[in-house]
C-alpha cells in the first residue's frame, strides 16, 4: 500500500483527508501536524513537524512516503493584525511549501497534491463567465498572492526534480466544523435574525468538504492529474438567497429573509462602511469544472442538499 503524508492533518480539510484515506484500505497515512492535539483514526501515524516556514525539517516524516497532500497553510483572515500580512503569508505559504516540496523530492516522493485557492483567479466573476484554470491569475489579497506564488514555486521544483505536482483550487469549502462565513451564516439562521438577503440574484460556486476530499484522493494516483491545475466545486451554483434557504431547511429552522433589492442593499452597506461585506454576499463567483470532470472522469459524489443536511446534523449533535 502507498504511504501518504497529509500536512495540516488536524485542520478542517486535512482531518477529513486523513479520515478518508484511513478508511480507504489502499493507503497507509502519516498525519503531519504542528502539535499533537488530536487523536486520528487508527492506524494513522502522527508526526509533529512544527509550523510552516523555512526552518522546518521534514526529512524524517517523509521517509518512505509515496505522495504528499499539502493542506497546511496560513489561511485567509478577515482582520489580519500582522504588521506585514503579505510577508507572513509568504513565509508560511510560499517558503514553507517550497521547502516541503524540495524535501519531498529529495526523499523520493512521487506526487505532491497542493490545495491552493480560487483566490488565485480573483474575487468575483462576471455573469455567465466562470473562472477556468486557464484564466490569467488575478489575486487581490495577500492570501491569494501567496497561493499563486506557491503554485509557481511548485511548478519550478517539479521541472527541476521531476516531482509530480497537482494543484487544486477550491472555492468556499463547507461542511461539519466549517468556520468563517459559513459559520456566520449558520449562526444568523439559528438565531432567527431577519436578514435583508431575500432578493440576491448572484451565482456562487461552493464545494462540500467531502467532494473536495474525493477529488484529492482521485488525484493521488490518476495519471492525467500530473502537472494539472484543477478547479473544484459541487457542480451546482447557488445564489446567496438560495443558499440561506436551503441551509435553513437542512437545519430545520425558518430563514427570515427580507427581499431588499440588491442595488439598495449594496448602496446602504457602502454608506455604513460595510461595502466589503456586501460584495461577499452579493457578488458572483463561479468556476467551470468541466475540465476536471473530463480529464479525470470525476464527478462530485455528494449533492448540495445532502451535504447541507450532513453539516446540519453533525453540528446539531456536536452542539456547534
d(CA 56, CA 7): 12
CB 74 within 8 A of CB 52: yes
In a domain, 198, yes or no: no
Is 143 among the catalytic positions? Answer: yes
What is the predicted pLDDT for the residue at 34? 85
97 inside domain: yes
Angstrom distance (rounded) from CA 268 to CA 196: 11
* Domain span holding position 155: 2-177+207-234+287-302
- Indicate whether 185 belongs to any domain: no
**Residue 173 neighbours by CB under 8 Å, 6+ apart:** 12, 13, 206, 207, 208, 209, 212
pLDDT of residue 281: 85
In a domain, 112, yes or no: yes
27, 58, 143, 174: the catalytic one is 143
Please report whether residue 308 resides in a domain.
no
Provide the whole-model pTM: 0.94
Predicted confidence at residue 319, as pLDDT, reads: 56
Supply the pLDDT for residue 120: 97
pLDDT of the residue at 76: 66
- Has residue 105 been placed in a domain? yes
Q: How many domains does the chain have?
A: 1
Q: What is the pLDDT of residue 40?
A: 83
Say if residue 91 is preceded by a cis peptide, omega within 30 of 0: no
201: in domain: no
pLDDT below 50 — which residues of the chain? none
Q: What is the CATH number of the domain that holds 86?
A: 3.40.50.720
pLDDT score recorded for residue 320:
55
Q: Does the residue 278 lie in any domain?
A: no
Amino acid at each position: 500500500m502507498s504511504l501518504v503524508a497529509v500536512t495540516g492533518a488536524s485542520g478542517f480539510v486535512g482531518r477529513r483527508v486523513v479520515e478518508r484515506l484511513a478508511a480507504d484500505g489502499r493507503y497507509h497515512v502519516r498525519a503531519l501536524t504542528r502539535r499533537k492535539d488530536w487523536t486520528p483514526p487508527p492506524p494513522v501515524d502522527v508526526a509533529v513537524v512544527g509550523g510552516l516556514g523555512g526552518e522546518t525539517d521534514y526529512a524524517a516524516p517523509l521517509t518512505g512516503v509515496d505522495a504528499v497532500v499539502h493542506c497546511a497553510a496560513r489561511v485567509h483572515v478577515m482582520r489580519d493584525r500582522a504588521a506585514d500580512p503579505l510577508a507572513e503569508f509568504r513565509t508560511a505559504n510560499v517558503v514553507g511549501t517550497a521547502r516541503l516540496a524540495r524535501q519531498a523530492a529529495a526523499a523520493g516522493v512521487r506526487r505532491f497534491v497542493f490545495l491552493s485557492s480560487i483566490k488565485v483567479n480573483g474575487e468575483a466573476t462576471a455573469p455567465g463567465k466562470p473562472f477556468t484554470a486557464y484564466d490569467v491569475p488575478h489575486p487581490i489579497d495577500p492570501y491569494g498572492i501567496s497561493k499563486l506564488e506557491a503554485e509557481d514555486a511548485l511548478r519550478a521544483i517539479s521541472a527541476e526534480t521531476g516531482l509530480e505536482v497537482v494543484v487544486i483550487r477550491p472555492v468556499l469549502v463547507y461542511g461539519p466544523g466549517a468556520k468563517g462565513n459559513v459559520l456566520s451564516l449558520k449562526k444568523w439562521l439559528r438565531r432567527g435574525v431577519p436578514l435583508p438577503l431575500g432578493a440576491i440574484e448572484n451565482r456562487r460556486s461552493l464545494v462540500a468538504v467531502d467532494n473536495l476530499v474525493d477529488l484529492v484522493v482521485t488525484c493521488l494516483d490518476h495519471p492525467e492529474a500530473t502537472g494539472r491545475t484543477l478547479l473544484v466545486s459541487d457542480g451546482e451554483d447557488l445564489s446567496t438567497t438560495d443558499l440561506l434557504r436551503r441551509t435553513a431547511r437542512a437545519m430545520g429552522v425558518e430563514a427570515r429573509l427580507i427581499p431588499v433589492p440588491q442595488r439598495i442593499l449594496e448602496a446602504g452597506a457602502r454608506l455604513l462602511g460595510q461595502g466589503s461585506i456586501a460584495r461577499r454576499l452579493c457578488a458572483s463567483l463561479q468556476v467551470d469544472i468541466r475540465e476536471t470532470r473530463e480529464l479525470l472522469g470525476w464527478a462530485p459524489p455528494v449533492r448540495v442538499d445532502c451535504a447541507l443536511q450532513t453539516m446540519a446534523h453533525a453540528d446539531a449533535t456536536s452542539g456547534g
